[in-house]
Every structure is written in C-alpha cells, then in structure tokens.
Structure 1
Amino acid sequence: MTKVKYVRVSTTEQNTGRQETNSKEFSKVYIDKVSGSVKFSERKEASKLILDIESGIISEIHINSIDRLGRSIIDILTMIEFFNEKSVKVFVENIGMFSLIDNKPNPSFKMIVSVLGNVAEMERNNMLERQKQGIELAKAKGIYKGRLYGTRMNDDEVLIKYKAVVKELKNGESLRRAAKIGGCSLGTAQKIQRILQEKEAA
C-alpha cells in the first residue's frame, strides 16, 4: 500500500512546482495539466490514479487543495465518496485534514470540504457572470469581436476556424505565441489545446 500525490494545473504553461514541493515523500506523483471543468475520471493521469486505486495499491492521496478534484461541489463530493468506499485516505494540504480517521469518514472534513467547494463554485459563477456582463458592455459599445465560448461550433469546426493556432500548438509553440499568431485570445488557444489533447488521447 502506497502514499501518492495528485497535482493539477489548468494549462501546460502553468508551473506545478508549488504543488510538488514535498513530492519526495510520495511513491508516485500524478500530474494533470487540464481544466478543472474536466471531470476527475476523464483526466489522463487521474484515470491512471483511479485504476491504481481499483488495483488496491494506494492507501493515501495528498492534494494541495480541494479544488484539484473538481470545479463543482458535486464532482468533488463524488470523488471523496469514491475514495472513502475504497478506504483511501485523502489529505488536503491547505486545510491539514484527512478524509478518513480510523477508516471512518471524518465529519469535520466533509463539512469543511462542502463549504470550500461551495465557495469555489460560487466564485467561479460570479466570475462567469462578470465576464458575461463585460461582453454585453463591449457589444453595447460596438467593440466586441466575438469569442469561442458560448458559440455552437463543434470541435472540428473550431480546429478549422483556428488553423493557425492548431499549427503553432502542434509545432510545440507556447499558448501565448499560438494565440498571438492565430489572432485569438489565450482562453481560445487553451480551448483548442484541450481539443487537440482529447483527440490525441481518443
């Protein structure tokens, strides 16, 4: 039985160093560079972690913060419940608590996680609302050029529309360079990168 760590950052350009500061303590560190909106079970490294749990070789998982498991409170609690069922302890470093005590669910942990998860979800929704208001204001001023999110384009249509971005990313260029060359926002470049990664993994 082993102790492992799970690390997630949203983009390939983000540094995982802060979350890996104590990595030497663990038998293995799983690192995903993917948006928190992607369900835990659908992430490349998280899927490997789940398989290792199913194999019974993991007894303890450490994460930097609870939002590494998911963006919504439902996704977070679903994963915590899965870990509990498998008798795998989760330790959240920024609150210093274990999900299980003597192999039983820690009620204080669940309460704090629920609060933190709800706060994170509320902050995300507020950010999206502010973003929406900003777009409406830009439209009213006649300076809005359109954006990828909220459109009805499917993945293939997105890749066709942003061929230059696709080319830059496939050549190993940074997201910022790809966005600049392709004439789109960094967020759009990140979306395109995710599509490419999903197609590659399929």
Structure 2
Amino acid sequence: MASDLPSDPRFFVLEANAGGVHDTQFDRVEPINRGNAPHCPKCGDPIGMKEWLPPYRVTLELYGKDLGDFADGAGGNSFLLSERMAGAFRTEGLTGLLGFAPVEVVGVRRKRKGSNPVAVPRYFAVTPCLGHAAVDEARSRIRRSGPVTCPECLSSGMDSVHGFALDVGTWQGEDVFRPRGKQGSILSSERFAEFVKQHGFTNVKLIPTEEYVWDPLRKGPAASP
C-alpha cells in the first residue's frame, strides 16, 4: 500500500549546460566595480564573493550554436538571464533572485565553428539570495578538510562532494538560492525545475543534489553517514 505521507521536496544544483547547443558564458568588461563580500553575521567569515556593481557590461562567449537563456561567468555570485526568462520568472512569482539589472552586451565571441546567433537577446544580471536552508550533514557525503565550527554559516574547507541533502525544515521556500554549508552552489526548487521545462529555457542544467559530484582533487567520497 502506497504511503499517504508527502515526500520531501527535491532540490537541484543549477549550472550552465557546458558543451550543449546553447552553451553561453560571459566576461565582465571594464570598468568592473565591486562592492563588499557577504559575511556570516555570527562568525564574520566571508560566505560569498564581492558584489558586482554597475555598470553591467559584458562580452558573451558562445561555445554552442546559439545564445542561451542562462549565462554564467567566472569570478562572481551573479549570472545572466535572457529577457524572456527574467520576465517569466517575475511574472510567475518565483523567488530567490535579486537585482534584475539590464546588461549592456558589447560583443559576442564565437568559440565554436558554425555558431551563428540570429540575434542577441537582452540580458539581465541577477544574484541568487543567501538562503536559510542548511546542508544536512548526516544525509550528505561531503568530505571536509576540517570540522564545521559555526552553527550559522556551516562553512569549512570542502574537499569533495558525492551527493548531498538539505535539512528541509530550514528551507524557507525560495526557488533559487545558495544554501548554508555550501554557499558556492546555486540550488533550485522543484518548482523552478518545472518552470524551466515548461518554457524550454536553454543552457540550463539541473542536477539533483543527491547525484551531484564535485571532486577536483579526486579524493573520493566521505564515509557513508
């Protein structure tokens, strides 16, 4: 007999679809102005990179055949959404993204033979909020270089991740956010995943958190909890 109990919500790591048909990245163009980095209100440690401030000027790098609705860039907390995706996000009442500042695209570098964008859409710079949702260490396979010492930000050195989970009771319903204990990743809700699917937004890769692997030093997974 099937259980009548509701299942826990699922979460996804949001990334650009590298190598895909709409693989799009961006570089910031001078002058690049930056504000302060966010810090944990309890321990004072930095929990993110410095804020990107106006003017928002970028060069797009097209690795696919045509420009995507989502574009990521190195060295910051922000990413770009096409006007189509940004408008739908706000119209449908999704939450967790801040800013929505228009971006000036000063050029497109075609990185792949045969790429030929028909038109360059308008893009908007957005920043995912720092959510209250926390990594559930007992249900995650995270290898850390040291113990977690702050109960607020849960930050510590991280060597590898071979799947992780959130403490659902700490999640406040945001659709896109950075979680406590893994602020370097952008997470999305099931509602956001369905939103992307329904509209066919491009250059979006959504990896279930339980399947997410990050192991740059090839240290392998931590012992099972």
**Which has the greater radius of gyration?**
1
* TM-score interval (norm. to shorter): under 0.3
- Tell me which of the two structures has the higher relative contact order, counting C-alpha pairs closer than 8 angstroms and 6 or more residues apart: 2
In the superposition, the TM-score normalised over structure 2's length comes to: 0.21
Which of the two has greater strand per residue?
2
Which of the two has greater helix per residue?
1
